[in-house]
Structure formats: C-alpha cells, structure tokens
Amino acid sequence: MLPGLKAGFTLDARLEADSEQLMWLGLCELRVMNDRRWPWLLLVPQRPGAEEIHDMTPLDQAMLTFETNMVAQALKKVSGCTKINTGALGNIVRQLHIHIIARSEGDPGWPGPVWGHGLREPYQRSDLRRFAETIRAAL
C-alpha cells in the first residue's frame, strides 16, 4: 500500500482527471487543480464514503480544519492574492473534497465564482511542477 493511502479509499475519477497529486498530509491528499487561471488546490480527506464534513469523526473534522488553514495560509503567501476562497460543494463530485483557491481583483471571473467561467486552461508541465514546488516549500 502506498504511504498515506487508507484502506478502502479510492479517489473519484473526475478529481483524478482534473488535478495532480502534490503531497500527502496527515488526513488529506493535497492536489493541484490543473487550471492555470487560478492558483487552485484541493484537499481530499482519505476517508472512504465521506461526502460531507459531518460524515467524519470530530477528530478528523479538527484535522481537516487544521490542514485547510495550513494550506490556505501557504497559498496566500506564495500567490500574494487578495482573497482565499474555500469551499466544499460536492454537487457534481460527491466525494468530500475542499477547494482552496487564490483570487485577486482582475483575475478571470473576478469577483464571481470560478465554476462555470470559461474553459479550463491546463498548466504546462514545467509550470505545474514549479507551482507545486513553491507550495511544498511554503508548507
């Protein structure tokens, strides 16, 4: 079994297709959304069947809050953004995952939501690696 992988856990195919693994944290897999328009990270708690935060134990909820705050602070530091948007929507992908998105005035779609705004613009491989390394260093 891979380090960090929880027994019975499978990543939703849509999350796997739209993002790249960055690293494992204590509870979550940290992923980079493959859309260069926004610095956009995903936290995916490694808990089989979890769709909502309240589906997890109180200890896991506390750990998720800690990891979300840690990642949000790192993203704000490296991006210099105006605002961090954090959300767990799950209307399309039911598997619990937290979006952490750096937003700045004048970015594509500002001040509206990122969802449904234009077409995704994938990173060049070298740019994705550079962004991932910057985030790792900030954590």
CATH number at residue 126: 3.30.428.10
- Structural domain includes residue 112: yes
Residue 49 domain boundaries: 13-138
pTM: 0.92
Predicted confidence (pLDDT) at residue 4 exceeds the cutoff of 60: no
| Residue 45 covered by a domain | yes
Quick check: 84 pLDDT over 70?
yes
Average pLDDT for residues 113-123, to the nearest whole number?
92
Share of the chain above pLDDT 70, in %: 95
Query: Does 96 reside within a domain?
Result: yes
Assess whether pLDDT exceeds 60 at residue 1: no
Residue 7's pLDDT is what? 67
Residue 7 in domain: no
Q: Does residue 53 lie in a domain region? A: yes
Asked if residue 100 belongs to a domain, the reply is yes
Query: Is 60 within the bounds of a domain?
Result: yes
For the chain, how many structural domains are there in total?
1
Asked, for residue 6, whether it belongs to a domain, the answer is: no
Return the HEC string of the chain. Answer: CCCCCCCCCCCCHHHHHHEEEEEECCCEEEEEECCCCCCEEEEEECCCCCCCHHHCCHHHHHHHHHHHHHHHHHHHHHHCCCEEEEECCCCCCCCCCEEEEEECCCCCCCCCCCCCCCCCCCCCHHHHHHHHHHHHHHC
The answer, yes or no, to whether residue 69 has pLDDT greater than 90, is: yes
